[in-house]
Structure 1
Amino acid sequence: MEVGIQNSSFQEPADIKLSPAGLSFLASAAKWAIFLAILCFILIGLSAITMISLMFGASALSLDQGEYISASTISTFGILYLLMMAFSCLPIYFLYNFGSKAKKAIENRDSIQLELCLEALKKHYKFIGIIAIITIGFNFLGLVVGIILGISDAIAGV
């Protein structure tokens, strides 16, 4: 599908070259992309370690009889949280690929690596865009459900 879009909307250029300023901007973006990706991987790892320790320590938290949060609730939330953390590694991986491939493309003056880095950047932003659309959809759904529940409570006289 994307090949058809590319062929219909873009003409094959004879040659594309980046100016020294463009290469400098790309190199700077690559460094920041690598830094942010590594930072995000570290933070995801720390979050996962924290959640795992909380899940294993959940039984100690629910020793009192009057606790509102049970160990099974924390474990269920923990598993969902860990799945979300694993899922969030994908766009960060794409960002890291962009940075590393852009760095290789600049060092070796390799146009194939430049294409691969731009493909990784496209994947990163496509993933983020899809997540944004899903988030907006869930927010809209929550708004509609909230309005319906508010109206039903008002009608019931609560």
Structure 2
Amino acid sequence: MTSEPWGPAEDGVDRPYWEGLRAGELRLQRCTGCRAWIWGPQWICAHCHTFDPGWEPVEPVGTVYTWSRSWYPFIDELPVALPYVTVLVELPHAGNRRVLGILTDATAEDAPRIGDAVTGHIELDEGATWPLLRWRRTAATTGGQR
């Protein structure tokens, strides 16, 4: 059992995700039967009911689907400066599944825009057992919405 409030669930369904981060890659579930992408982790594919879907590496690039700025440290153990921005990132290389994470280059004056291109990076904070996936903008996106 780890001291941080993130890491594998007790039932182990998401352990390959966390082990992937430790290995330096983003892994998401993909059904071995119908090839549908699955997120969050499940024991069974909701599309074809195959048990024990597989895990595949996914390129950690996508676009901001939505975002929120937080001024309160909801998880005291999470080492982020306040305020911080949480983004829901749509991954085109994983059937447009959406993954949540913190945007590391956001400032109070420079809010993200829906549609901004982002790249994931994996960080292991000092003293932590499991790394976290975080996001950075890769380019300014024109035509995005606030």
TM-score normalised by L of structure 2: 0.20
Whichever structure has more helix as a proportion of its residues is 1
Whichever structure has more strand as a proportion of its residues is 2
TM-score normalised by L of structure 1: 0.19
Which of the two has higher C-alpha Rg? Answer: 1
